[in-house]
Amino acid sequence: MSGTLVLVRHGQSEWNLKNLFTGWRDVDLSEKGVDEAKAAGQKLAARGLKFDIAFTSALVRAQRTCQFILDATGQSDLRTIRDERLNERDYGDLNGLNKDDARKKWGEEQVHIWRRSYDTPPPGGESLKDTGARVWPYYMHDMQPHVLRGETVLVAAHGNSLRALIMALEGISGPDIVSLELGTGVPMIYRLNADSTVASKEILEG
């Protein structure tokens, strides 16, 4: 067996709470999101996990989640790499809109397609496939080598950047990955084989 990869979607953001499309908008954690991030760190610390390196996006909600986790594991100063390739997918013209208002403007079916299809982007934005096109090479070249060296790697990112990453890890198809729900602040622990395949997966819910 090789190393360990821990994936965590950021805690609830202020715009998650308000039912707004967030995308690349730099929105902070809500009070609940702070609690979720701290709880994630406590769960990982209780497992005795220590990280060798951390990766997060260029957005504050993921960065703060990452830091709360590292604080809980006693690794506040751990080397942390921030990169926009791990950002949430860009919702384009939907960014900042209330999801109910978007449905009134474009129709329930069209908004559902933009949110849940694999390769149909919203106007001016990215599809999940587009998001994967930046996440996959970054994982292969920058993150996976650490795991294959036997290190324990933390990735604090977003629902869709993590969906793209899980798609690659688990070999899930495009149509199937869009229905995968990722809870905010819920750690997923992957242990990888030396050939980069998944040896085990554990979700720390509750």
Q: What is the CATH number of the domain that holds 188?
A: 3.40.50.1240
Sign of CA dihedral 52, 80, 8, 127: negative
pTM confidence score? 0.95
Name the pLDDT band for 17 (thresholds 50, 70, 90).
confident
Active site residue 88: yes
Q: Which of 10, 36, 126, 158 is catalytic?
A: 10
Using CA atoms of 54, 191, 166, 92 in order, give the dihedral in degrees to the nearest 10. -10
Distance CA 192, CA 194 (A): 7
The overall longest dimension of the chain from CA atoms, in Å, is 51
Name the pLDDT band for 1 (thresholds 50, 70, 90).
low
Cross-sheet strand order for the sheet of 4-9: 80-82, 53-56, 152-157, 4-9, 187-192, 198-203
Which two structure tokens, joined as six digits, stand for 148? 């294959």
Residue found under tokens 């954690």? 29
How far is the CA of 88 from the CAs of 77, 84, 132, 155, in angstroms? Answer: 25, 9, 11, 13
Residue found under tokens 């979607």? 9
Distance CA 154, CA 4 (A): 9
How far is the CA of 114 from the CAs of 94, 107, 144, in angstroms? Answer: 10, 11, 30
Active site residue 10: yes
What is the tally of structural domains in the chain? 1
Domain that holds residue 50: 4-203
Task: Report pLDDT digits (tens) over 132-185.
Answer: 999 999 999 999 999 999 999 999 999 999 999 999 999 999 989 988 999 999
Over range 196-201, report the average pLDDT.
Answer: 96
Strand ranges in the chain using DSSP code E only, listed in sequence order: 4-9, 53-56, 80-82, 152-157, 187-192, 198-203
Q: Which of 36, 88, 126, 158 is catalytic?
A: 88
